Amino acid sequence: MTTGSPSLNNVRFSINGTELLKGLNLTLGKGSFTVVLGPNGSGKSLFLRLCHGLLQPDNGELSWNGSQTRPPQTMVFQNPVMLRRSAKENIMYALRNCPKAERAERAQQALRWAGLESISERMATVLSGGQQQRLAIARAWALKPEILFLDEPTASLDPGACDYVEEHVKTMHESGIQVLMSTHNLAQARRLAQQIIYIQDGRIMAHQPVEEFFTQPSCDEAYEFIRREFAIAPVTKIKTVSGT
């Protein structure tokens, strides 16, 4: 299914002369579930938007297995964006490139998959935050992407809605969709991710398999980040990056 996963070569991005992403080099494994961690303002959201093509790098190159053609992909934002129409019509709108006859059926399938059939005719903008995020996930599923980007999708959700999003994102990944997600929730990252990217000050400081990251983070910054968040020290502290 996968035709390409993102590969960044010395990618830089600035706003008003301030460099916010500084020379990113990275290749993601095909079909992986990668979680992006980092403090507030570190550049996680910018990184995801850049990978998804919502932002263009100032320098460097973003490719997909050597090709410039983006595979089918979509993004779910922290605050779900709903159009002022029904839940079903929101999904149908996203499917506007599909043949017209297919749209309603695929939208209905997505609502069924997400357990949202009962609200299919309700105005999407008046749904609760949790329902809107579930609808956003259903809409992403309906698009059948090869890569799914999620920017802190559970940041403003209650635990129940959070579990729901996790479960459905996990299902999507298991069906072969590559996932790249940012979060502040380390427990969630540990539950879901195969790989962790740690970003700080616009630089990728660590890119490791999940268990290795949480037990042997490859830089001091990641070690401190985990220690502060969990209020306990990781098992081993390895200083391969800073060398201090």
Partner 1 sequence: MSDSQTFLSAFLLIFQWGGDLWEIIGLSLRVSLSSVAISTLLGLPLGALLAVRRFRGHHAITILVNTMMSLPPVVVGLFVYVLLSRSGPLGVFGLLYTPSAMVIAQTVLITPIVVALSRQHFQQEWERVGEQLRSFNIGTMSALPTLFWETRAALTTVVLAGFGRAIAEIGAVMIVGGNIDHLTRVMTTAIALETSKGNLELAMALGIVLLVLALLVNVAVHLVSHWSSVRGGGK
Under the criterion CB under 8 A, does residue 93 sit at the interface with partner 1?
A: yes
Under the criterion CB under 8 A, does residue 77 sit at the interface with partner 1?
A: yes
Cβ-contact 197, 204 below 8 angstroms: yes
- Least Å distance between CB 126 and partner 1? 4
- Nearest-angstrom CA–CA distance, 181 and 140: 14
Binding map of partner 1 across residues 53-72, x = CB under 8 A, - = no contact: xx------------------
Cβ-contact 179, 170 below 8 angstroms: no
Question: Of 84 and 228, which has the nearer Cβ to partner 1?
Answer: 84
- Nearest-angstrom CA–CA distance, 88 and 124: 8
Question: Of 151 and 166, which has the nearer Cβ to partner 1?
Answer: 151
Contacts of 17 (CB under 8 A, 6+ apart): none
Number of residues located near partner 1, criterion CB under 8 A: 19
Q: Give residues 104-133 in contact with partner 1 (rule: CB under 8 A).
A: 123-126
Under the criterion CB under 8 A, does residue 74 sit at the interface with partner 1?
A: yes
Under the criterion CB under 8 A, does residue 83 sit at the interface with partner 1?
A: yes
Question: Of 77 and 224, which has the nearer Cβ to partner 1?
Answer: 77
21 token code pair:
């992403």
- Least Å distance between CB 96 and partner 1? 8
Cβ-contact 79, 85 below 8 angstroms: no
* Residue 152 bridge partners (DSSP): none
For every residue of 112-132, which 3-state class applies, written as one string? Answer: HHCCCHHHCCCEHHHCCHHHH
Selected from 40, 68, 96, 118, the binder of partner 1 by CB under 8 A is: 96
Helices (H) and strands (E) counted in the chain, each on its own, are 8, 9
Question: Of 79 and 215, which has the nearer Cβ to partner 1?
Answer: 79
Neighbours of 232 (CB within 10 A): 8
C-alpha dihedral sign at 84, 88, 137, 100: negative
Question: Of 94 and 199, which has the nearer Cβ to partner 1?
Answer: 94
Q: Give residues 186-225 in contact with partner 1 (rule: CB under 8 A).
A: none
Question: Of 106 and 207, which has the nearer Cβ to partner 1?
Answer: 106
Burial of 66 (0-12, 13-18, 19+ CB in 10 A): exposed
Selected from 22, 49, 170, 203, the binder of partner 1 by CB under 8 A is: 49
Question: Of 94 and 192, which has the nearer Cβ to partner 1?
Answer: 94
Interaction site with partner 1 (CB under 8 A):
49, 52-54, 74-75, 77, 81, 83-84, 93-94, 96-97, 123-126, 143
